[in-house]
Structure 1
Amino acid sequence: MSLWLPFRGRWKLGQKNSLRGSSQLSKQDYESLRERCLMEGHLFEDESFPASLRSVGSGPLLRKLPPGLQWKRPPELHNNPQFYSANAKRLDLCQGVVGDCWFLAALQALTLHQDILSRVVPLNQNFTEKYAGIFQFWFWHFGKWVPVVIDDRLPVNAAGQLVFVSSTYKNLFWGALLEKAYAKLSGSYEDLQRGQVSEALVDFTGGVTMTFNLAEAPGNLWDILTRATYNRTLIGCQTHSGMERVLENGLVGGHAYTLTGIRKVTCKHGPEYLVRLRNPWGKVEWKGDWSDSSSTWELLSPKEKILLLRKSDDGEFWMTLKDFKAHFMLLVICKLTPGLLSQEVGQKWACTLREGKWEKGSTAGGRMKSPRDTFWKNPQFLLSIWSPQEDRRFLMPCSVLVSLLQKPRHRHRNRKPHLAIGFYLFRLSKYYGDPRKLPPEFFWENGPLSWPEAFLTEREVSQELQLVSGTYVIVPCTSEAGQESEFLLRVFSRKHIFHEIGCDASAVFSKEIVDQNEGQDAFFTKLFEKYPEINAVQLQKILNHMTWPSLGSARPLFSLDACQGILALLDLNASGTVSIQEFRHLWKQLMLYQEVFHKHDSHRLGYLNRTQLRAAMRDAGIVLSDDICQLMLVRYGGPRLQMDFVSFVHLMLRAESMEGAFQNLTQDGKGIYLQKPEWLMMTLYS
């Protein structure tokens, strides 16, 4: 528990509870602290991140501080302080003496999305109503949204000017306070001196970053930027590494920028592709073609010139895509939904995350170097992929996004550098029994489908893959054996099951799921030698004789009525039977359904309540509101509003059928128009 002591008319957090990590952050309850301060008539003072040099740091940053440094609250700095103003210009922040341009570049990208900004920065905070000198911000911190509580004492020089982040509007303080909260999360202001824009983008959103080396930029880079700017993405970039100094062309070397827009314009000589960037300093701009003072603007029509050109030294400027690729080193796109590169429209994505660690002597196996190395000791994760839009005549690939994040190895994020990390992907087409891990022989006999081209000393590495339905093994590792760290592995796809091998073997190593090719094909061949076409009675017999390894003793019993309902949904040609292709699709769906049902039937009672049902459907790719979920329990559940596995299968097949019909019929992703026969067909089958 936190120890609270009155001290010189202020409330202070006892120092014996100094912050040790994100788990300690959540122990500071914002509402309780605020109410306590208001009740006692005192302003909050946070001794876990005090108004002293201890919070600034102990390194080179101290030499940048002005003489006579003081800590003051916004009401002491302005007669009308405001936390945030929606009427202010969105990119109003300027960097201070901390070398955290990467943080500012990400933050300015965040301001382009008001709803995301309000998730990080609760905008209802102020310096008037119930003001107690305490503020709260939220960050996505390795799989969880964590609150960070701070007091509002900010470092200023002798003239009362903010030393670190400030706003061009002198009475706005949200940026300075957010920087303080992020410094507390990172350990100190000193710990913001070095970083990658990708790190802050993830901490603001929980999204996944894709980093492009612009020296090897893909040929369709403009198309990627177009999709990114018209979707929910945040984009940053960085110039070539070096000392942070202004170059002759106006750019700053070794500096992060925010990409704020793109535009294809028509010149007299043809089309030109332009990108708009902003310097976090709030000044110092590009001096080449399409800069504010460039004559190239005369190549445009007067209307387009007026629309795009703004001559002011605010740090924002245009340049050509060609110059961008020549003068910038990295492009970072933070995707809030994973379907950016695969161009999937209107699709729901499921995300699963697993935590793990590399420990010396046990799980720190390092990269693959030779057939008999220690690579197999690394943590192993089993991934089963289903394609919800799988064509029943042939196999379609699925878009899968894999992200590997390493956790900091010290409370101060810059005390220990990142390790070089990566991950391998293998196809699993043979059943290996029920081991704690795949044996070394597996890696001797099977080459990876995907592997790191280079091990990167980044906090996050990610890759978007196109995989056919089946079962795979992901092996995250460091570049060298024996290197220790904790990590977070995330998988995004339309439908998948994802477990660490050895942690939930009963769910992971069921034969029916592991072998998506060889054993399954043999099963289907034998089945359809006996039943070339399956009717409802035969389907009932098959389903009631199947083994359901994840369901344990709660063996499901499919009624004839349930099987007739299933058949009606799968029977596309109204023949009263299903073919081998249609049954293959059903089989894969049933394997997925038993996994998510087992996962959320936490008490092993054989049924789901409303909360469990909603979570299970979300894992299977269907998102419902509470009200609709309640209706589904009334329609498909039992008298106690509980749903067994057979009813869950029935509901899921119907829900997916209706969602598929909507996607096929909608023109804009918002609504559909049905003729009477189509309406009758859909309602009679629902």
Structure 2
Amino acid sequence: MPLWSSSQRSWKLGQKDTVGASPQLPRQDYEALQERCLRNGCLFEDDTFPATLSSIGSGHLLQKLPGHLQWRRPTELHVNPHFYSAKAKRLDLCQGLLGDCWFLAALQALSLHQDILSQVVPLNQSFTENYAGIFQFWFWHFGKWIPVVIDDRLPVNEAGQLVFVSSIFKNLFWGALLEKAYAKLCGSYEDLQRGQVSDAFLDFTGGVSVTIKLAEAPRNLWDILSRATYGRTLIGCQTHSGNQRVLENGLVDGHAYTLIGTRKVTCHHKPEYLVKLRNPWGMVEWKGDWSDSSSTWELLSPKEKMVLLRKKDDGEFWMTLQDFKVHFKLLVICKLTPGLLSHEVGQKWSYTAQEGRWEKGTTAGGPIKSHQARNTFWRNPQFLLTVWRPQEGRMFLTPCSVLVSLLQKPRHRHRNRKPHLAIGFYLFRMSRFYDDLKKLPPEFFLQNKPLSFPEAFLPEKEVSKELWLEPGTYLIVPCTSEAWQESEFVLRVFSRKHVFYEIGRNSRAVFSKEIVDQTEGQDEVFTKLFEKCPEINAAQLQRILNQLTWSGLGSTQPIFSLDACQGILALMDLNASGTVSIQEFRDLWKQLMLYQAVFYKQDSTQSGCLNRSQLRAAIKDAGIVLSDDICLLMLIRYGGPKLQMDFVSFVLLMLRAEKAESIFQNLTQDGKGIYLQKPEWQMMTLYC
């Protein structure tokens, strides 16, 4: 039996109980609110999203509501309510009166990945243990995972049936409560009436969505879908525009579906490519070839037919890839890790995000339309991106994949009150170094053509593009389709290794000329250093490093000990000669420039040392991801007695981490684990 009954008193949230409230969404302390309700013997009521029509909306949705609308808790609707059940069928949700098929299609895809679902929906919540009428969900909101707290009062009709999302299992309520939390995040239930599957994917995962127009689908679409369905991706699709009218073929126009599977079958000694879809309504299916009642199933072997065919009006159906391309308009694939369309097995990616703003009269410069317009284009926020391709500790001048994502923040508390601006971004190659951190002047854009530019500015929440870039430094300029349009945005970059920051706005990241162009102007210097000795030992390396000027570290100049240089040499000496050549020194110098940049960026007090949190951020900026525990151990191992790490120790740590990563990638067969023979283990321990 439920702990609380409808006759028990409720406690309403007062202003004093909000934590860190913001104009966008009140921040509420779930644990504190739950504990107070339990202590006071009451059920939570959320005044920030009350059980009134104001939470549903103020437009056409009100006209669709049933008469005598009521708000009831699950404990009042079922004798044995459950929040979630792993034993139930995963795709158990059905759309209600609300036109949020895009949300349901994304949620159906989310339910196929239990680990991802549990991040959005904490599955340890229940209507028995510590039940206080309060629930919490998590959404990725412009670079941060934020909690959304709700009470469990849900809108129902006079018969006690849920008005919006429900489950085919009448005692399961996780979907309805999640929909309510998402409505609160977006402003109201009515703000869920229109949307894109990609928007919900983003809010559920923080991943990057790729939208493919099926009329222009690439030739390898089947390969892309096959990798996506067997990888960590969420896939949605949408039919051609309409008003959600059921067509003669069983499809619904202007409707979002979830793609939940693919299968290659053999018919008459030739392959047939099938995709499996689900309608968020939980019913109404495709009636063409390979539908539940189609005779085409007789072309398969009895065993294969038994595996694939389910004759049930549950909204799930198969169709050919060709029919899919004809009857559907868009395919949306949300990549939880980059590299889906350019598959790189076992490769590690780093991720950086920067926030920015387009402000009228200052930073809202608009696009490049003519030479005259470039006088305002330069006013847009400008971001420097330095791309690296580490491979076995070396740098290769071969193109590497870089994924750039531009997100615009909503301009109103209610997501549908103001439409999205049309946005895009330009990419320029930096052919020479600019000595200060001011914005690049108009002359730069008059003299340089963009390497990449928006083919069309799109009024979407997110626009993204996968680029193949040679190692080097680039300029990214995000902008709106018209000058002086105002909004905030988040610019994200994914790659194997990069450094990324905004220039001209209190930026502290400093790059010497060497990191902007790693070879130009340095060959002559390096040649002179090595003209007498083609190979240098640890003592000579020490003398060289201590004589160089480290302009990127401010007034604190590092001092390399002989012991440190011996450690560096052991890590860079690929042929075990006890010396390094000019080429090996060039590779070392490129890495030192990267380490210098990320170290200085995190050393906010210019103390010459990094603390624990700064160290972890610097390591992440350099392209290595370590857990908190390992980061602390590294600080104990390589840092000082006060648990702070200077630049020389940071260099030694990063070189060892790079080497360990390289060894792992060389030895692993599946990207997850390795088996070491004794000599390999001994070498590994000596490096680390």
Aligned to 1:208: 208
Shift of 1:21: 8.1
Aligned to 2:100: 100
Cα 1:386–1:73 change in 2 (3 A) is: same
Shift of 1:119: 0.9
| Greater mean alpha carbon deviation, residues 335-344 or residues 419-428 | 335-344
**Deviation sequence 1:158-196 (CA, Å, 0-9, x none):** 111111111101111111111111111101111000000
CA contact (8 A) 1:25 1:149 kept: no
| Greater mean alpha carbon deviation, residues 311-320 or residues 497-506 | 497-506
Shift of 1:128: 1.6
Aligned to 1:586: 588
CA contact (8 A) 2:251 2:286 kept: yes
Aligned to 1:557: 559
Aligned to 2:426: 424
Q: For 1:39 and 1:351, how far apart are their aligned partners in 2? A: 43
Q: Please list, as runs of the form range in 1=range in 2, the aligned pairs for 1:28-47 lying within 5 A after superposition.
A: 28-47=28-47
Q: Does 1:174 align with 2:174?
A: yes
CA contact (8 A) 2:77 2:160 kept: yes
Cα 1:629–1:433 change in 2 (3 A) is: closer
**Deviation sequence 1:590-616 (CA, Å, 0-9, x none):** 111122222333333222333433332
Shift of 1:19: 12
Q: Secondary structure at the match of 2:469?
A: strand
Q: Please list, as runs of the form range in 1=range in 2, the aligned pairs for 1:3-22 lying within 5 A after superposition.
A: 9-14=9-14
Q: Which amino acid in the other structure matches residue 269 of structure 1?
A: H
Aligned to 1:5: none
CA contact (8 A) 2:21 2:27 kept: no
Aligned to 1:362: 362
Aligned to 1:242: 242
Shift of 1:210: 1.0
Q: For 2:110 and 2:330, how far apart are their aligned partners in 1? A: 19
Cα 1:31–1:25 change in 2 (3 A) is: farther
CA contact (8 A) 1:426 1:446 kept: yes
Aligned to 1:474: 476
Q: Does 1:191 align with 2:191?
A: yes
Cα 1:37–1:640 change in 2 (3 A) is: closer
Aligned to 1:258: 258
Shift of 1:316: 0.7
CA contact (8 A) 2:405 2:465 kept: yes
CA contact (8 A) 1:166 1:173 kept: yes
Shift of 1:682: 3.8
Q: Secondary structure at the match of 1:512?
A: helix
Q: Which amino acid in the other structure matches residue 152 of structure 1?
A: D
CA contact (8 A) 2:385 2:498 kept: yes
Q: Which amino acid in the other structure matches residue 376 of structure 1?
A: W
Shift of 1:555: 1.0
| Greater mean alpha carbon deviation, residues 261-270 or residues 61-70 | 261-270
Q: Which amino acid in the other structure matches residue 299 of structure 2?
A: L
CA contact (8 A) 1:470 1:517 kept: no
Q: For 1:659 and 1:519, how far apart are their aligned partners in 2? A: 31
Q: Which amino acid in the other structure matches residue 655 of structure 1?
A: A
Cα 1:175–1:680 change in 2 (3 A) is: closer
Q: For 2:570 and 2:436, how far apart are their aligned partners in 1? A: 37
CA contact (8 A) 2:546 2:559 kept: yes
| Greater mean alpha carbon deviation, residues 444-453 or residues 521-530 | 521-530
**Deviation sequence 1:570-629 (CA, Å, 0-9, x none):** 221233333333222212211111222223333332223334333322322223334433
Q: Secondary structure at the match of 1:594?
A: helix
CA contact (8 A) 1:426 1:448 kept: yes
Cα 1:316–1:522 change in 2 (3 A) is: farther
Q: Which amino acid in the other structure matches residue 112 of structure 2?
A: L
Q: Please list, as runs of the form range in 1=range in 2, the aligned pairs for 1:100-139 lying within 5 A after superposition.
A: 100-139=100-139
Pick the aligned partner of 2:673 from 650, 671, 674. Answer: 671
Q: Secondary structure at the match of 1:629?
A: helix
Q: Does 1:456 align with 2:467?
A: no
Q: For 1:258 and 1:548, how far apart are their aligned partners in 2? A: 54
Aligned to 2:280: 280
**What percent identity do the matched residue pairs reach?**
79
Cα 1:40–1:676 change in 2 (3 A) is: closer
**Deviation sequence 1:81-126 (CA, Å, 0-9, x none):** 1111111110110011110000000011110111111111111111
Q: Please list, as runs of the form range in 1=range in 2, the aligned pairs for 1:581-620 lying within 5 A after superposition.
A: 581-620=583-622
Q: For 2:352 and 2:462, how far apart are their aligned partners in 1? A: 16
Aligned to 2:306: 306
Q: For 1:596 and 1:372, how far apart are their aligned partners in 2? A: 37
Aligned to 1:68: 68
Aligned to 1:636: 638
Aligned to 2:413: 411
Q: For 2:536 and 2:319, how far apart are their aligned partners in 1? A: 63
Shift of 1:459: 0.5
Q: Which amino acid in the other structure matches residue 197 of structure 2?
A: V
Aligned to 2:3: none
CA contact (8 A) 1:25 1:146 kept: no
Aligned to 1:337: 337
Cα 1:14–1:676 change in 2 (3 A) is: closer
CA contact (8 A) 1:26 1:146 kept: no
Q: Secondary structure at the match of 1:519?
A: coil
Q: For 1:680 and 1:128, how far apart are their aligned partners in 2? A: 54
| Greater mean alpha carbon deviation, residues 603-612 or residues 294-303 | 603-612
Aligned to 2:397: 395
Q: Secondary structure at the match of 2:649?
A: helix
Q: Structure 2-normalised TM-score?
A: 0.94
Alpha-carbon RMSD across the aligned residues, in angstroms, is 2.2
Aligned to 2:165: 165
Cα 1:527–1:422 change in 2 (3 A) is: farther
Shift of 1:676: 4.4
| Greater mean alpha carbon deviation, residues 587-596 or residues 61-70 | 587-596
Q: Which amino acid in the other structure matches residue 636 of structure 1?
A: Y
Shift of 1:22: 5.9
CA contact (8 A) 2:360 2:486 kept: yes
**Deviation sequence 1:320-360 (CA, Å, 0-9, x none):** 11111111111111111112122122222211111111111
CA contact (8 A) 2:515 2:593 kept: yes
Q: For 2:21 and 2:429, how far apart are their aligned partners in 1? A: 37
Q: For 2:396 and 2:602, how far apart are their aligned partners in 1? A: 32
**Deviation sequence 1:539-577 (CA, Å, 0-9, x none):** 222211222233222211111222222122222123333
Shift of 1:520: 4.1
**Deviation sequence 1:511-547 (CA, Å, 0-9, x none):** 3333345334554455455654433233222211222
Cα 1:427–1:663 change in 2 (3 A) is: same
Shift of 1:257: 0.6
> Mind listing any 5+ residue stretches in structure 1 that lack a counterpart?
1-7
CA contact (8 A) 1:22 1:141 kept: no
Q: Which amino acid in the other structure matches residue 239 of structure 1?
A: T
Q: Secondary structure at the match of 1:115?
A: helix
Q: Which amino acid in the other structure matches residue 248 of structure 1?
A: E
Aligned to 2:656: 654
Cα 1:624–1:432 change in 2 (3 A) is: closer
**Deviation sequence 1:110-158 (CA, Å, 0-9, x none):** 1011111111111111112222111111111111111111111111111
CA contact (8 A) 2:18 2:28 kept: no
> Mind listing any 5+ residue stretches in structure 2 that lack a counterpart?
1-7
CA contact (8 A) 1:140 1:202 kept: yes
Q: Which amino acid in the other structure matches residue 321 of structure 1?
A: L
Shift of 1:494: 1.8
**Deviation sequence 1:52-76 (CA, Å, 0-9, x none):** 1111111111111111111111111
Aligned to 1:4: none
Number of residues paired by the alignment?
679
Aligned to 2:4: none
**Deviation sequence 1:33-66 (CA, Å, 0-9, x none):** 1122222222111121111111111111111111
Q: For 1:537 and 1:54, how far apart are their aligned partners in 2? A: 74
Cα 1:675–1:49 change in 2 (3 A) is: closer
Q: Secondary structure at the match of 1:261?
A: strand
CA contact (8 A) 2:263 2:274 kept: yes
**Deviation sequence 1:216-237 (CA, Å, 0-9, x none):** 1111111111221222111111
Q: Structure 1-normalised TM-score?
A: 0.95
Q: For 2:71 and 2:522, how far apart are their aligned partners in 1? A: 69
Q: Secondary structure at the match of 2:334?
A: strand
Q: Secondary structure at the match of 1:507?
A: coil
